[in-house]
Amino acid sequence: MSKRPHSWCVVLDLWRAQREGPAGLARRQENRLAALVAHARKLSRFYQHLYRDLPAERATLRDLPAVTKRELMASFDDWVTDSRVTLAGVEAFVANPDLIATPYCGEYFVCTSAGTTGHPGLFVYDRRAVDAYRAISIGRITPAWAGARGLLRMTRRGFRWAAVVGTGGHYAGAGWMELQRRRNPWLSHAYRVFAVRQPLAELVTALNAFAPAILTAYPSALELLAEEQLAGRLHLHPVFVEIAGESTTLDASARAAAAFGCPIRNVYAASEFLVMAFSCPHDWLHVNSDWAVLEAVDEDLRPTPPGEPSHTVLLTNLANFVQPIIRYDLGDSVLVRPDPCPCGSPLPAIRVVGRRDDILRFAAADGKSVKIVPLAIGGVVDETPGVHRSQLIQTGPSAIRVRLERKPGADEEKVWRDVAASLSAYLAQQRVANVEIVRANEPPEQSARFGKFRQVIAVPPAGP
Ligand SMILES: [Zn+2]
């Protein structure tokens, strides 16, 4: 991994880009895109083939065909630009949780998508990408969110940062925290990951003991934590709360802000680019357009006019050269703000309108309602050996229907028995008993509404 001065150069460039405004951002985007495309055409067999009929010079972004995760993963060894990186090698690497955040091939950071976006993905980041993510996080987003007084409060509290996220695998969120801890000894005390899957009472006790200056959580987990805070069992005083991984409603944000007495900030993050956009006080997400391109497009991949929800959004990651992501279909519906944001940021402003899994509610043995975080219960199924893809649908107050797609070669009956056993054990740990777990005949399906895969669905919609 690279040395610190490089990161500070990137930070300096971020400040300059924003000061120069739209023209400075566009110039950087154009230069970085040209370098990325040239690199992909030279060293990635996948892109060589995909771009074979395009002119050698000066292809603009819109001339380039879009790609999907399924396509890229199916051609993994041809997609990457370093021949030491292979699908078999990366799969073996991520199968070992002891290797989380350790360098793959001596230099790469590897993470997997948690399965909430359908087909699992394996992502490999080079030093340039890791530097860019860190610079954006510490040099652009944290100062914008905390302000000078907030940064001072964070310093006084030793920058203690709690991330309540999915654990146990090479997931982007937990892996990133671990990478920072490994690289900076002083951060090994400041950064801590809390398993979202542990029982709520244990999580509350652990968070109270740690007393973080910053809290990161998925919106669904934050909703539960906000209730704990309002009930007086959780006593946190964060400078700000960061939410990531799922979209949230303004209502839920407002409730959490009132509970924690601090701003709730949103980061639009994906395993494909860890910090695509970050929210401002006017609740718009500002795209880090000097390092990432997000194109809102319709079903035929034509640009969606600003102000209208898109069919999907294409991501181009300008930071990562080892596994080029160029016009990659993220599957989210976004809306681009047509006019300048009142916050004054020159970065393009968007909202994500279609990305949310439901919180499930079950009755506990004592009659109380227990809420289950979608990422946690989804992870229980996805981590069962032999599961390729899954979808959970709550069909009644105490019934779940499970749609499964097994990995090639896995024994269908055994996979199902293991999934049912893991789910029962997990629900029992949450003090929920007697849930009927039914196996669906149909495979996991896309949502008709957004064309977007949702892993955990509550039917009827989870109230209130
Ligand atoms: Zn703004």
Q: Which of 400, 435, 437 is nearest to 417 (CA)?
A: 437
| pLDDT value at 259 more than 70 | yes
Ligand 1 centroid to Cα of residue 346, in Å, is 9
Ligand 1 centroid to Cα of residue 105, in Å, is 40
Q: Which of 316, 297, 314 is nearest to 305 (CA)?
A: 297
CATH code, domain carrying 102? 3.40.50.12780
Mean pLDDT throughout 214-227?
Answer: 88
* Residue 185 pLDDT: 83
Q: Is residue 463 part of a domain?
A: no
* Token digits of residue 18: 């924003």
Q: Is residue 10 part of a domain?
A: yes
* Residue 463 pLDDT: 40
Q: Whole-model pTM?
A: 0.78
Lowest mean pLDDT among 159-163, 168-172, 276-280, 288-292: 168-172
* Residue 3 pLDDT: 43
With cut-offs at 50, 70 and 90, classify the pLDDT of residue 453. Answer: low
| Domain end marker among 326, 356, 386 | 356
* Residue 446 pLDDT: 59
Residues 390 and 324 in one domain: no
Q: Is residue 376 part of a domain?
A: yes
Mean pLDDT throughout 443-462?
Answer: 59
More confident residue, 207 or 443: 207
Q: Dump pLDDT digits (tens) for 126-139.
A: 999 999 999 999 99
Number of domains in the chain: 2
Ligand 1 centroid to Cα of residue 284, in Å, is 5
Q: Dump pLDDT digits (tens) for 159-187.
A: 999 999 888 888 888 899 999 898 888 88
Ligand 1 centroid to Cα of residue 286, in Å, is 6
Q: Is residue 154 part of a domain?
A: yes
Residues 156 and 183 in one domain: yes
More confident residue, 463 or 458: 458
Q: Is residue 124 part of a domain?
A: yes
How far apart are the C-alpha atoms of 433 and 52, rounded to whole Å? 57
Residues 6+ apart with CB under 8 A from 82: 43, 105, 322
Lowest mean pLDDT among 39-48, 220-229, 415-424: 220-229
| pLDDT value at 120 more than 70 | yes
With cut-offs at 50, 70 and 90, classify the pLDDT of residue 94. Answer: very high
Lowest mean pLDDT among 42-51, 108-117, 306-315: 108-117
Ligand 1 centroid to Cα of residue 343, in Å, is 4
Q: Dump pLDDT digits (tens) for 31-82.
A: 999 999 999 999 999 999 999 998 877 668 998 999 988 899 999 999 999 9
* Residue 102 pLDDT: 94
Q: How far is CA 382 from CA 192, 367, 391, 405, in A?
A: 24, 29, 9, 10
* Residue 361 pLDDT: 82
* Residue 76 pLDDT: 97
Ligand 1 centroid to Cα of residue 271, in Å, is 24
Q: Is residue 117 part of a domain?
A: yes
Ligand 1 centroid to Cα of residue 183, in Å, is 32
| Domain end marker among 315, 331, 356 | 356
Residues 326 and 200 in one domain: yes
pLDDT above 70 coverage of the chain, percent: 91
Extract long-range pairs of 369-372: CB within 8 Å, 24+ residues apart.
370/430, 370/431, 370/432, 371/223, 371/224, 372/427, 372/430, 372/432
More confident residue, 181 or 113: 181
Tell me the backbone φ, ψ of residue 218, rounded to 5 degrees: -75, 150
Cis amide linkage into residue 464, ω under 30° from 0: yes
With cut-offs at 50, 70 and 90, classify the pLDDT of residue 202. Answer: very high
Residues 277 and 387 in one domain: no
Residues 329 and 454 in one domain: no
Ligand 1 centroid to Cα of residue 229, in Å, is 28
Residues 214 and 262 in one domain: yes
Residues 74 and 156 in one domain: yes
Burial of 225 (0-12, 13-18, 19+ CB in 10 A): buried
Ligand 1 centroid to Cα of residue 340, in Å, is 8
Tell me the backbone φ, ψ of residue 142, rounded to 5 degrees: -60, -50
Residues 292 and 327 in one domain: yes
Residues 366 and 352 in one domain: no
Mean pLDDT throughout 377-403?
Answer: 85
Residues 173 and 110 in one domain: yes
Q: Is residue 305 part of a domain?
A: yes
Residues 212 and 317 in one domain: yes
Ligand 1 centroid to Cα of residue 127, in Å, is 30
* Residue 357 pLDDT: 57
CATH code, domain carrying 371? 3.30.300.30
Residues 307 and 420 in one domain: no
| Domain end marker among 306, 322, 356 | 356
* Residue 2 pLDDT: 40
Ligand 1 centroid to Cα of residue 348, in Å, is 9
pLDDT above 90 coverage of the chain, percent: 58
Rg value, the chain, Cα: 22
Mean pLDDT throughout 144-160?
Answer: 94
Residue 294 is part of which domain span? 1-356
Across 140-149, 303-312, 396-405, 442-451, the highest mean pLDDT is recorded for 140-149
Q: Is residue 413 part of a domain?
A: yes
